[in-house]
Amino acid sequence: MLDRTRQDWQSLAEGLEIEGRAFINGRYEDALSGETRESISPGNGRKLADVANCGVDDAENAVRIARAAFESGAWASMAPADRKMVLVRWAELIEDNRDEIALLESLDVGKPISDTTGVDVPSAVRTIRWSGEAIDKVYDEIPPTPADSLALVQRLPLGVVAAIVPWNFPLSTTAWKLAPSLATGNSVILKPASNTPLSALRIAGLASEAGLPDGVLQVLPGPGGSLGKHLAMHMDIDGLTFTGSTEIGKQLMRYSGESNLKRTFLELGGKSPNIVFADANLEKAASFAAIAVFYNGGQTCTAGTRLIVENSIRERFVEMVVARSRDWMPGDPLDPSTAMGPMIDAAQLKTVVDYVDIGRGEGASLIAGGKQVMEESGGCYYEPTIFDSVSNDMRIAQEEIFGPVMSVIGFDDAEEAVAIANDSIYGLAGAVWSNDINTAHKVAAAVRVGTMGINNYFGGDITVPFGGFKQSGNGRDKSMHAFDDYTELKTTWIEFE
């Protein structure tokens, strides 16, 4: 599979049959209005498919179907061991179709094929399999009560859950939402990002094939501002799980308050600090500093966009990082040697171009990149870009750019490094590099983020929770903790005669 050439992937792409209809009640259906929207490949600007453009009527229909499926108990009351078997089978089917789904994700998102085959699809498979495997190992509680009474504390599914996901990791975020919400017995309506609906639509059909009862999962592609808002405001949706920007996350909290106080869990933006001390393994730290920000073109919520470096090594270390950045020159997503693909669309490219102008205007020193490239391809490609001499109060150090742009900030001691790291509205992720166990642990403990690496970046897997402090969100994806977002605790108190 991995020895396929670019030509192999291109000819597979030409023969790909792409499903663009919504998935409702176990079947693929057009939007009720018949409207479609073109799905465009960021790699070359060409049309991939016509995708159903669902609206308010489709949302109403989907909520009715999801509610009926939930009330029927066909899934919610199924023994956890049986739900497990369906989810495990679903994971197997995704694995069996790995190349096709990876290709779809590369075409739709512009992700390098080496990432979608090596990371995105395997991670979705593991998430769904792990959550399925876990669900029949979750015990409820019998609290310590007086001898003449007995109390049961049970976890019950919320009911109907809406899941709204972004375009930067469509398959992974879809799996992070669907696996625990379905495992715990909910019915779910997923709204993918308008730019990237294809992998979610494809795996929904496989869920049915695996035995998920009709009506338990709906996938509705359509605009966030109308369809997404309608779901978030809906009086008959019990839970909302969201991954996306902090700006939209704040709106969703308001929608919840203005409607039925649906449980609302948010995974939002970041401006993550990557702190390097002089005593670290500098070769490894430089290599990971580049990975931290250029992976997925910097379109990653946890991207290590603020490289915070001890001043005594800053000049030398920055030269090492600039050298590594050359490994991340963008290329065709279907070329297996490509490390970084295009920006998702022209609007995102413009955001990056504007922020590079802002950085120059703020007086930061542009030492690598700073240009759009491969314009002849029809895609929106941008060079790996590094600003040195950044101060943490500059906009390029405070605002999420969501592109391949690194800001280098110097520090003199650990206290200053922590103060810089924490001077952000975000608190999603970060890392510290040091060979001194005391420095590494003290700094890791003091940085207010949901996930902190010591001598690694992007570490972690499905076994650990993922989510943010501060304005990076409130819920937790992954691990058994994700089950908490999709369940209510119910107490039953029994007294003996």
Q: Please report, for residues 5, 147, 154, 337, the alpha-carbon distance to residue 494 in angstroms, rounded to integers and kept in the order given.
A: 66, 11, 14, 64
Q: Residue 408: which of 290, 280, 245 has the closest Cα? A: 290
Residues 86 and 211: beta-carbon distance below 8 Å: yes
Q: Give me the residue label for tokens 């270390």.
A: 317
Reduce the DSSP state of residue 103 to 3 states and report it. helix
* Nearest-CB residue for ligand NAP: 224
Residues 422 and 404: beta-carbon distance below 8 Å: no
Binding mask 449-488 for ligand NAP (x = CB under 6 A): -------------------x---xx---------------
Q: Binders of ligand NAP: how many residues, by CB under 6 A?
A: 33
Q: Which among 301, 380, 383, 400 is annotated as catalytic?
A: 301
Residue positions counted in the chain = 497
Residues with Cβ < 8 Å from 242, sequence gap 6 or more? 163, 164, 165, 248, 249, 252, 264, 265, 266, 267
Q: Which among 54, 105, 267, 380 is annotated as catalytic?
A: 267
| Residue 380 CB, nearest approach to ligand NAP (Å) | 14
**Stretch touching ligand NAP by CB under 6 A, among 49-57, 226-234, 274-282, 288-296:** 226-234
Contact between 223 and ligand NAP by CB under 6 A: the answer reads yes
Nearer to ligand NAP, 286 or 405 (CB): 405
Known active-site residue 301: yes
Reduce the DSSP state of residue 135 to 3 states and report it. helix
Known active-site residue 267: yes
Nearer to ligand NAP, 302 or 439 (CB): 302
Taking the C-alpha atoms of residue 209 and residue 177, their distance in angstroms, rounded to an integer, is 19
Nearer to ligand NAP, 109 or 165 (CB): 165
Q: Residue 447: which of 467, 423, 477, 466 has the closest Cα? A: 423
Maximum separation of any 2 CA atoms in the chain, in Å: 82
Under rule CB under 6 A, which residues in 277-316 are in contact with ligand NAP?
301
Nearer to ligand NAP, 72 or 398 (CB): 398
Residue of 53, 127, 174, 243 that binds ligand NAP (CB under 6 A): 243
The backbone torsions φ and ψ at residue 483, rounded to the nearest 5 degrees and listed phi first, read: -60, -30
Nearer to ligand NAP, 58 or 332 (CB): 58
Residue of 110, 159, 166, 215 that binds ligand NAP (CB under 6 A): 166
Helices (H), 214-262: 229-233, 246-258
Residue of 72, 114, 245, 455 that binds ligand NAP (CB under 6 A): 245
Which amino acid belongs to residue 223?
Answer: P
**Stretch touching ligand NAP by CB under 6 A, among 100-108, 137-145, 262-270, 414-422:** 262-270
Nearer to ligand NAP, 261 or 437 (CB): 261
Contact between 384 and ligand NAP by CB under 6 A: the answer reads no
The backbone torsions φ and ψ at residue 236, rounded to the nearest 5 degrees and listed phi first, read: -115, 20
Contact between 400 and ligand NAP by CB under 6 A: the answer reads yes
Instruction: Return the half-sphere exposure (C-beta side, CA atoms, 13 A cut-off) of residue 436.
Output: 9
Residues 315 and 282: beta-carbon distance below 8 Å: no
* Tokens, residue 344: 């998702």
Q: Please report, for residues 60, 234, 473, the alpha-carbon distance to residue 64 in angstroms, rounded to integers and kept in the order given.
A: 6, 11, 29
Residue of 73, 143, 225, 363 that binds ligand NAP (CB under 6 A): 225
**Stretch touching ligand NAP by CB under 6 A, among 16-24, 123-131, 190-198, 318-326:** 190-198
Residue of 106, 194, 407, 487 that binds ligand NAP (CB under 6 A): 194
| Residue 263 CB, nearest approach to ligand NAP (Å) | 16
Contact between 168 and ligand NAP by CB under 6 A: the answer reads yes
Residue of 124, 161, 206, 232 that binds ligand NAP (CB under 6 A): 232
**β-strand 239-243 against 263-267: which pairing, if any?**
parallel
Binding site residues, ligand NAP, CB under 6 A = 164-169, 173, 191, 193-195, 223-225, 228-229, 232, 243-245, 248, 251, 267-270, 301, 400, 402, 428, 468, 472-473
Would you please indicate which residues are annotated as catalytic (active-site) residues? 267, 301
